[in-house]
Amino acid sequence: MAATHGDTYGETYGDQETVRRILTESGDTWAVVGLSNNQARAAYGVAGVLQRFGKRVVPVHPKAEPVHGERGYASLADIPFPVDVVDVFVNADLAGAVADEAVAVGAKAVWFQLDVIDESAYARTRAAGLDMVMNRCPAIEIPRLG
């Protein structure tokens, strides 16, 4: 697994081509794990940016509350339609299990947010054939696409 140095966030995993592919080719249904109505949390703001760029945001949180006008679900397995990308806003010690769930539900890609790093989850997810990046934020990357 090749790690590259990001602009300001230390080690990142997944090259710029993978970032571009996830944002433009993987599909527009993004399950955001850890998204709740807490507007102070980064997930809330990032989900809003994703929506502004045409992504359907599906909140995944134990409370299963609606966020940004979309129905919430308690887990990835509870979502009754295909999910393209799983965006992970949970602590790194929980993120590997979420990546494994993403593989199990047939997602095309997994995105671990800034400071969410699990190298073994990265290796497992890539070995399962999914695109994946870690320690990056789509709200930072998507405007860079132009």
Q: How confident is the model at residue 12 (pLDDT cuts 50, 70, 90)?
A: low
- Contact between 32 and 87 under an 8 Å Cβ cutoff? The reply is yes
pLDDT for res 13: 82
Query: Please, which residues bridge with residue 109 across strands?
Result: 85, 131
Q: Is the pLDDT of residue 25 over 60?
A: yes
User: Distance (Å, rounded) from C-alpha 10 to C-alpha 124?
Assistant: 22
pLDDT for res 6: 38
Counted residue by residue, the chain has a size of 146
What is the tens place of the pLDDT at every residue in 128-138? 999 999 999 99
Q: Is the dihedral of CA 126, 128, 131, 134 positive or negative?
A: negative
User: Distance (Å, rounded) from C-alpha 103 to C-alpha 130?
Assistant: 8
Q: Is the pLDDT of residue 1 over 70?
A: no
Structurally, at CATH architecture level, domain 16-72+81-144 sits in 3-Layer(aba) Sandwich (3.40)
What is the tens place of the pLDDT at every residue in 34-50? 999 999 999 999 999 99
The model's pTM is: 0.91
pLDDT for res 112: 97
Sketch the domain layout of the chain as residue ranges: 16-72+81-144
What is the tens place of the pLDDT at every residue in 80-89? 999 999 999 9
